[in-house]
Amino acid sequence: MRPDNQSGVSHFLLRGLPIGPEQQGAFFALFLAMYLTTVLGNLLLILLIRLDARLHTPMYFFLSHLAFSDVSISSVTVPKMLMDMQTQDHAIPYAGCIFQLYFFIDFGCADNLLLAVMAYDRYVAVCHPLHYPTIMKEELCVLLVAASWVVSFFHALLHTLLLVRLSFCTDSTINHFFCDLTVLLKLSCSNISLNELVILTEGGIIMTLPLACILGSYICIGTVILRVPTTKGLLKAFSTCGSHLFVVSLYYGTLASVYFFSSSWDSKDIIASVMYTVVTPMLNPFIYSLRNRDIKQALEMLVNRAYFLK
């Protein structure tokens, strides 16, 4: 895909985070540490899942793809933000902005779909435990993950192609720290009714169907748990679904605050975007690992193996 510029705009200016010059150094160090934690934490999680045979299960297979998506969505936005904070050069080429937009939509959509796939996996594990091995076969797991990535690819491609046909005004300042679709549409001098229609219809379907799958899965899980409301059953359900449910709440909470509960892009929206693109991907490895005995044992084995090789 080669982005064709219809308006002659050679670059955009990213306004960045709403922080003063005297705070740039502290925030640069903070976000650099958070980004490195995100990359190392998620890559370590992927490595553990690949190396430990006990983690070769559907749940961890889906989790490894979610971790890859989290690393990717942070890598699309955070390095440019850090470079802008360090150099004070907030310009981004037109083509660079388009590609950043494409990959941000791609990995964001993948996150959304993978969370729905993981919710279905938890539903089968809790509601049909005896049939879990026969339902969640390797072929189905691969198909679900492949479908998530393919749908994300075409979803991002559709919105990117609809954007590059537009012309942009002389004011090319983006009131954000990355190239977000809704902000770019506000800068356009062209008719954006088709873009808005596609966002409302196709984008709405992409957002609501996975959310409906997640809600439906947890309603069924809750119904099964309430039939036999024992302490042991509640603890088992929490250990099975608690981490995923917390990540879903964090993901959709920040997403809703950015795209649904705001009338204009201001500091609060940018802070919510930081939560969505920086904080959530950083927290996911810790959320899935802190109360997970399998992950802890795999990490101990990896550390022991490295110590033995010394």
* Per-residue pLDDT reduced to its tens digit, 124-159: 988 888 999 999 999 999 999 999 999 999 999 999
Residues 154 and 147: their CA atoms lie apart, in Å, by 11
- Name 12's bridge partners: 92
H-helix or E-strand spanning residue 177: none
Q: Mapping DSSP to helix (H, G, I), strand (E, B) and coil, where does residue 132 land?
A: helix
> Which of 36-40, 182-186, 187-191, 301-305 is the least confident region?
301-305
The per-residue pLDDT for 275 is 83
Mean pLDDT of 245-259: 74
- Contact in structure between 221 and 127 (CB atoms under 8 Å): yes
Residues 45 and 37: their CA atoms lie apart, in Å, by 12
The per-residue pLDDT for 244 is 76
Q: Mapping DSSP to helix (H, G, I), strand (E, B) and coil, where does residue 279 land?
A: helix
Q: Does 185 score more than 60 pLDDT?
A: yes
Cα within 13 Å of Cα(78), Cβ side: 28
Residues 89 and 80: their CA atoms lie apart, in Å, by 10
Alpha carbon separation from 115 to 152, 213, 248 (Å, rounded) = 13, 9, 7
The per-residue pLDDT for 272 is 75
Rg (CA), the chain: 21
The per-residue pLDDT for 1 is 46
> Which of 69-78, 113-122, 236-245 is the least confident region?
236-245
The per-residue pLDDT for 230 is 64
pLDDT band at 119 (very low <50, low <70, confident <90, very high): very high
- Contact in structure between 156 and 105 (CB atoms under 8 Å): yes
Mean pLDDT of 79-86: 91
The per-residue pLDDT for 139 is 95
Q: Is the pTM of this model over 0.75?
A: yes
pLDDT band at 43 (very low <50, low <70, confident <90, very high): very high
Mean pLDDT of 175-204: 91
Q: In what order do the strands lie in the sheet with 173-174?
A: 91-93, 11-14, 173-174
Cα within 13 Å of Cα(178), Cβ side: 27
